[in-house]
């Protein structure tokens, strides 16, 4: 069977899948390149890095890891097994985050096809969720999804979740006083005809509750403030370490568990303000007993919501000048 990297149609399919991954503020900070029709390379796009809120490049790596997982699914459902090298040449090519080859023909398992079919259906849902609790067998499936990618998912009990929401509110207050952070946030939440960022129709309503279980981006439609679920179900995604390899693994784990959640009809949104503040202030990681926290996730049953905009596949193709820009190394 012909490699999916060897034809324009096959490569376009890979670009389309990777481009639908979630990313911090919908920055979509990735590029793809095919080398000799044999290797697909995932590159960071330094022009889309959040230099104020993401000085270490952690969020960029997590975002690109999610795109890499979608790429793997696209390869797998094309009848091949992806062989992945993370950070294959970190010293000389710091923008090169992963290289993917394919093995000979190998039928895709049903689960891979099931997850691939959910790529276009997954949404970040900032609307109120119902009071219905996510059942334990679904949470167990999400834990297994994270574990398959070398990460952990800890679902928080009610007291710990309440404490974390207070911590999120404190981080929000501190970030609100940071002019650089707020300017960067506004740059990616401006209205208009865009193919990236967070337009108003995906930001959700203003929350009438305190502390809020959803992020307030500071701009809203004419909708009145609304009440959210009274007992938000929160979980944290963790990794054993806290470096670029761990961040890429966290991104792949995140996307696997989000697609698994979509299979079960579960919605998700994120409350990563404490992690932004941690990265910006170079503070020590507030360890969970199971590792370093990379994502704070709200889970539940939410209404149907629109998809955030996406760049066309042609814009995701890497160019040679972008690859060799050493001054933009992440």
Let me know whether 162 and 235 are in one domain: yes
| pLDDT the model gives residue 327 | 37
- pLDDT of 17: 98
Residues 320 and 283 in one domain: no
The predicted pLDDT at position 326 comes to 40
146 and 293 co-located in one domain: yes
Q: What are phi and psi of 154, to 5 degrees?
A: -105, 115
Q: For residue 46, which of 10, 110, 94, 13 has the smallest C-alpha distance?
A: 94
For residues 146-175, one letter each, b for 16 or more C-beta atoms within 10 angstroms of the residue's C-beta and e for the rest, the string is beebbbbbbbbeeeebeebbebbeebbeeb
Regions of the chain short of the pLDDT cut 70: 1, 219-222, 284-288, 320-330
> In this structure, are 147 and 270 located in the same domain?
yes
Asked whether residue 306 is assigned to any structural domain, the reply reads no
**pLDDT (tens digit per residue) in 179-226:** 999 999 999 998 777 899 999 999 999 999 999 999 998 766 667 899
Kindly state whether residue 159 falls inside one of the protein's structural domains.
yes
Tell whether 274 and 248 lie within a shared domain.
yes
Which of 61, 56, 75, 100 is closest to 17 using CA atoms?
A: 75
Structure tokens at 157: 């009990």
When divided into structural domains, the chain yields a total of: 2
Within a domain: 255: yes
* Domain presence at residue 53: yes
- Domain hosting 87: range is 8-122+313-328
Shortest CA distance to 213 belongs to which of 261, 167, 251, 176? 167
Query: What is the rounded CA–CA span in Å between residue 70 and residue 110?
Result: 16
Do 45 and 184 fall within a single domain? Answer: no
Q: How far apart are CA 216 and CA 112, in angstroms?
A: 35
Helix (H) or strand (E) holding 40: strand 39-44
Identify the pLDDT of residue 221.
60
Which one, of 10, 96, 1, 46, lies nearest residue 313 by Cα? 10
- 21: CATH: 3.40.109.10
One domain for residues 143 and 118: no
Question: Could you give the CA distance from residue 176 to residue 155 in angstroms, rounded to a whole number?
Answer: 28
**pLDDT at position 285:** 65
pLDDT at 23: 98
Instruction: Please report, for residues 21, 41, 179, 278, the alpha-carbon distance to residue 82 in angstroms, rounded to integers and kept in the order given.
Output: 18, 12, 43, 34
Q: Are residues 116 and 172 in the same domain?
A: no
pLDDT at 329: 38
């Amino acid at each position: 069977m012909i490699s999916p990297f060897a034809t324009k149609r096959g490569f376009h399919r890979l670009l389309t899948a990777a481009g639908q991954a979630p990313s911090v503020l919908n920055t979509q900070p990735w590029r793809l390149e095919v080398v000799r029709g044999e290797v697909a390379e995932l590159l960071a796009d330094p022009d889309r890095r959040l230099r104020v809120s993401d000085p270490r490049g952690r969020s960029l790596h997590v975002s690109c890891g999610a795109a890499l997982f979608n790429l793997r699914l696209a390869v797998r459902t094309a009848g091949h097994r992806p062989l992945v090298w993370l950070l294959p040449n970190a010293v000389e090519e710091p923008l090169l985050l992963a290289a993917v080859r394919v093995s000979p023909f190998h039928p895709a398992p049903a689960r891979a096809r099931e997850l691939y079919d959910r790529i276009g259906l997954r949404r970040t849902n900032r609307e109120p969720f119902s009071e219905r609790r996510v059942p334990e067998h679904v949470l167990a499936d999400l834990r297994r999804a994270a574990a398959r990618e070398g990460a952990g998912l800890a679902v928080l009990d009610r007291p710990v979740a309440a404490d974390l929401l207070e911590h999120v509110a404190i981080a929000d207050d501190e970030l609100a006083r940071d002019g650089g952070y707020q300017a960067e946030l506004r740059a990616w939440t401006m209205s208009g005809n865009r193919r990236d960022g967070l337009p108003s129709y995906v930001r959700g309503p203003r929350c009438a509750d305190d502390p809020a279980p959803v992020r307030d981006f500071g701009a809203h439609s004419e909708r009145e403030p609304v009440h959210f679920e009274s007992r938000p179900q929160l979980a944290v995604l963790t990794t054993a370490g806290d470096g670029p390899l761990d961040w890429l693994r966290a991104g792949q784990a995140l996307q696997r568990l989000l697609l698994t959640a979509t299979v079960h009809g579960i919605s998700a949104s994120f409350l990563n303000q404490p992690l932004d503040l941690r990265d910006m202030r170079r503070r020590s990681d507030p360890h969970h007993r199971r590792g370093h926290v990379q994502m704070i996730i709200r889970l539940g049953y939410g209404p149907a919501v629109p998809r955030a905009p996406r760049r066309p596949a042609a814009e995701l193709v890497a160019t040679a000048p972008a690859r060799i820009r050493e001054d933009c190394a992440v």
